[in-house]
Chains A and B, each alone.
Chain A
Amino acid sequence: MNTRADSLSTPLARPEPRHPKVRRDELDLEHQPEAVLSVLEADQLFAAKQARLGRARLSKGAGVLLWGLRVYVIAMMLMVAMQVVHTLHGGQ
């Protein structure tokens, strides 16, 4: 069974591709699971992608930036709304 402890030693970034002793011109992808696994990385499988990654630890600076840019986007969208209303009412 795949436990979290198992996966901690396998960073998402670099799962090693597996190269079992199967000749590539003999692979039957439809009927041999090992053939599929020989060309895909472990975390390319649909089943593997169902697992969620953990949360990142955000630094204070990153948190402030995220909030700042969120306020920026909301304020700017209000500006766009103003611009549209202005244009719709015949302004230029």
Chain B
Amino acid sequence: MDHSSLSLGVLTPAAGRSAASSDLGGGITHEDIDRARDRLAVARARDPGVPAYLRWLRLSWLLVGPGVLVFLGENDAPSMLSYAATGAQFGIGFFVPFVLLTFLMGFVVQEMTVRLGAVTHRGHAELIFDRFGTFWGRFAMGDLVIGNFLTLVTEFIGIRAGLGFFGVPPLIAVGGAMALVFGVILTHRYWTWERIALGLAIFNGLFVPAALLAHPQWGAIGQSFVTWSPMPKGGLFKPDTFLLIMADIGATVTPWMLFFQQSAVADKGLQERDIQGGRMDTLLGTLLAATFAIATIVATAPLFAKGIDAGDYQAAQFAQALEPLIGHVGAALFALGIFEAGLVAAMTISASSAYAFGEVLGTPHSLNRRLSESRAFYGILMGSALAAGALVLIPHAPLEYIVLIVNVIAVLAMPPALLFLVLLCNDRQVMGEHTTGAWGNIAVWLVTALLVFAGLAFGLMTVFPKLFGGGG
């Protein structure tokens, strides 16, 4: 293997020790000590003296995190709204297996970030700037910043709408959510932040009982997985249908997920020997998020069955419309689910922006840092959440358009992000023996091609709506 052209400034073990011993208060930081504490727990969990099943359980508990968080974080307010609209407009049919497919695409992509993070111990933005230069790095950051901010706005729309169902005033809903987001980071411990976020993310499962209260037709669901039917009326290229296809893809494969998971893997301190554990964490996140997404489609399918036009519904309206069909408890679960989706995503997406900025600016960027040590990192995290939350509170702001297009923008911005990911994961100087294999490359290129195709079709529909049977 040729590493001769790689100009790394990485400290060798000897240099690392020297830096550490020269200044325990400087060479080794609070961030390093906290990360070492997490690594020590993992090392102890691997103790061969412990029974195998206990070892497996303990390791699973310690290594689960970024993968589950990224997928349940992406089951966010606009995504759940897209799934709700999908169920309400098309019922059980083509979209049920299609959504599962989008999550499998998401797994292919996110698994690559686990390897990148565990091997390089660096975040995604940092690697793009270092390996491709400032010019391309700025483009990647531009896509991320625009996408993240718009998405963050939609999360607070979800928080406001979800709690609005219970009569909570917008200011209290948004203010309370912000207080929680800020309160958790003040623990200045990645592990604590991750566990609290995971604890909240589990409530994404509220869509499952909501779906059960809709008395689903299990036969129809099973049949849809086998036959991918019934197909939407008017075909897949009918503009309204295609917009939902785009939104559903954007609900599982987005740029912020790449940046967040790689940064979180690095902050958690995963190493090469943890890659398999990271994969399992990502697979678990994929399966949980896919289940909850499909449950949302199932929960709103009664609106389709009753012929109720839900084309323009927003989050709270779905819950209100569902109340006569699945009962008050079901509707309340649905509204709580939308609130939870917005809250967890507000935590993860603001962290994603903060990580990326910290990496690019070269300032400390770890949730293991104290506020005073990492003002820029926490400033971006809190500032972006504050700005997005404040925007949601402006009366008569045209927020519904942001919800409408945010997932579409995610799909459109994804192909260049995937190209950086593919190039980095095939960079032998960076990845060593962990470069992507042939099948992985085929899968990720297929995902990229599908996203480009979807984007081009969307563009054609916008410019030539009559070509696809739209009203123009």
- Report A's interface with B, CB cutoff 8 A: 1-2, 4, 6-18, 24-25, 27, 29-31, 33-37, 39-58, 62, 65-66, 69-70, 72-73, 75-77, 79-80, 82-84, 86-88, 91-92
The reply to whether B6 and A12 contact each other, CB–CB distance below 8 Å, is yes
Give CA–CA (A24, B19) in the complex, Å. 22
| Contact (Cβ within 8 A) A35 B36 | yes
Query: With A46-B364, A75-B459 given, can you name 12 additional A-B contacts, CB distance below 8 Å?
Result: A12-B6, A13-B434, A15-B12, A37-B20, A46-B31, A51-B9, A52-B130, A53-B131, A58-B132, A66-B136, A79-B462, A92-B471
Could you show 14 A-B contacts with beta carbons less than 8 Å apart?
A2-B9, A2-B12, A15-B10, A25-B44, A33-B28, A42-B13, A45-B32, A47-B28, A52-B130, A58-B423, A69-B416, A79-B463, A83-B405, A87-B404
Determine which residue in B36, B434, B459 has the highest number of CB atoms from chain A within 10 A of its CB, and name it: B36
Answer whether residue B306 sits at the interface, using C-beta atoms and an 8 A cutoff: no
A73: B residues at CB distance < 8 A: 143, 412-413, 415-416
* A54 contact from B7, B404, B434, Cβ within 8 A: B7
The distance in angstroms between the C-alpha atoms of A73 and B39, with both chains bound, is 40
A6 to B6, CA, bound (A): 12
Residue of A nearest to B121 (CB): A44
Q: A76 touching B459 by the CB < 8 A rule?
A: yes
Our pick among A4, A24, A33, A84 for the contact of B27 (Cβ within 8 Å) is A33
Cα distance, A51 to B130, chains bound together (Å): 10
Q: What sequence of 0s and 1s flags, for each residue 7-36 of chain B, a beta carbon within 8 Å of any chain A beta carbon?
A: 111111111111111001001110111011
Contact A44 B35 (CB under 8 A): yes
Decide yes or no whether B133 CB sits under 8 A from chain A: yes
Q: What's the minimum C-beta distance from A8 to chain B, rounded to whole angstroms?
A: 6
Please indicate which of the listed interface residues B12, B271, B463 has the most CB atoms of chain A within 10 Å of its own CB: B12
CB pair B423–A62 under 8 Å, yes or no, is yes
Asked whether A8 lies within 8 Å of B8 as measured between CB atoms, the reply is: yes
Is B120 in the interface zone, CB < 8 Å from A?
yes
Q: Is the interface of B mostly helix, strand, loop or mixed?
A: helix
Query: In the assembled complex, how far is the CB of residue B370 from the closest CB belonging to chain A, in whole angstroms?
Result: 13
Which residues between 434 and 472 of chain B lie within 8 Å of chain A, taking CB atoms? 434, 452, 455-456, 458-459, 462-463, 471-472
Task: Kindly identify which residue among A12, A24, A55 contacts B40, using a CB–CB cutoff of 8 Å.
Answer: A24
* Chain B residues within 8 Å of A, Cβ to Cβ: 1, 3-21, 24, 27-29, 31-33, 35-37, 39-40, 43-44, 119-122, 126-127, 130-133, 136, 139, 143, 269, 271-272, 362, 364, 366, 398, 401, 404-405, 408-409, 412-413, 415-416, 419, 423, 427, 429-434, 452, 455-456, 458-459, 462-463, 471-472
Cβ-defined contact, B458 with A48, below 8 A:
no
Please name the residue on chain B nearest to A57 by beta carbon: B5
Q: How far is the CB of B386 from chain A (nearest CB, A)?
A: 25
A49 in contact with B131 (CB, 8 Å):
no
- The answer to whether A42 touches B130 (Cβ under 8 A) is no
A53 touches B9 (CB 8 A): yes
- Least distance between A57 CB and chain B CB atoms (Å): 7
Contacts A46-B364, A53-B131, A56-B423 given; does A39 touch B9 at CB 8 Å = no
- Name the A residues within 8 Å of B271 (CB-CB): 17, 41, 44
Closest to A85 in B: B401
Measured between alpha carbons, how far is A2 from B7 in the docked complex, in Å? 13
- Min Cβ gap A30→B in Å is 6
Bound Cα distance from A13 to B298, whole angstroms? 44
Contacts of B433 in A (CB 8 A): 13-14
**B130 lies within 8 A of A55 (CB):** yes
Is B419 in contact with A66, judged by CB distance below 8 angstroms?
A: yes
Q: How far is the CB of B312 from chain A (nearest CB, A)?
A: 10
- Top 5 A-B residue pairs of the complex, sorted by shortest distance between their CB atoms: A51-B9, A13-B432, A54-B7, A2-B15, A33-B20
Q: How far is the CA of A39 from the CA of B272 in the complex (A)?
A: 13
The reply to whether A36 and B36 contact each other, CB–CB distance below 8 Å, is yes
Q: Tell me, in angstroms, the Cα distance from A48 to B29 when the chains sit together.
A: 11
Let me know if B455 and A66 touch, CB within 8 A: no
Contact B39 A72 (CB under 8 A): no
Closest beta carbon of chain A to B151's beta carbon, Å: 14
Of B7, B44, B401, the contact of A87 (CB 8 Å cutoff): B401
Q: Which residues of A contact B27 (CB under 8 A)?
A: 33, 45, 47
Distance of A2 Cα from B119 Cα, bound (Å):
21
Give the distance in Å from the alpha carbon of A92 to the alpha carbon of B469 in the complex: 12
Query: Measured between alpha carbons, how far is A50 from B314 in the docked complex, in Å?
Result: 45
Partner of B12, one of A7, A33, A65: A7
Assembled-state Cα–Cα distance A54/B131 (Å): 6
B5 and A54 form a contact (CB under 8 A)? yes
A66 to chain B, nearest CB (A): 6
Pick from B28, B130, B452: contact of A36, CB under 8 Å: B28
Q: Which residue on chain B has the smallest CB distance to residue A43?
A: B10
Decide: B16 and A37 in contact? CB cutoff 8 A: yes
B13 — which chain A residues lie within 8 A by C-beta? 15-16, 18, 37, 42
Closest A residue by C-beta to B460: A79
Given contacts A36-B36, A37-B17, A80-B412, contact A56 B427 (CB under 8 A): yes
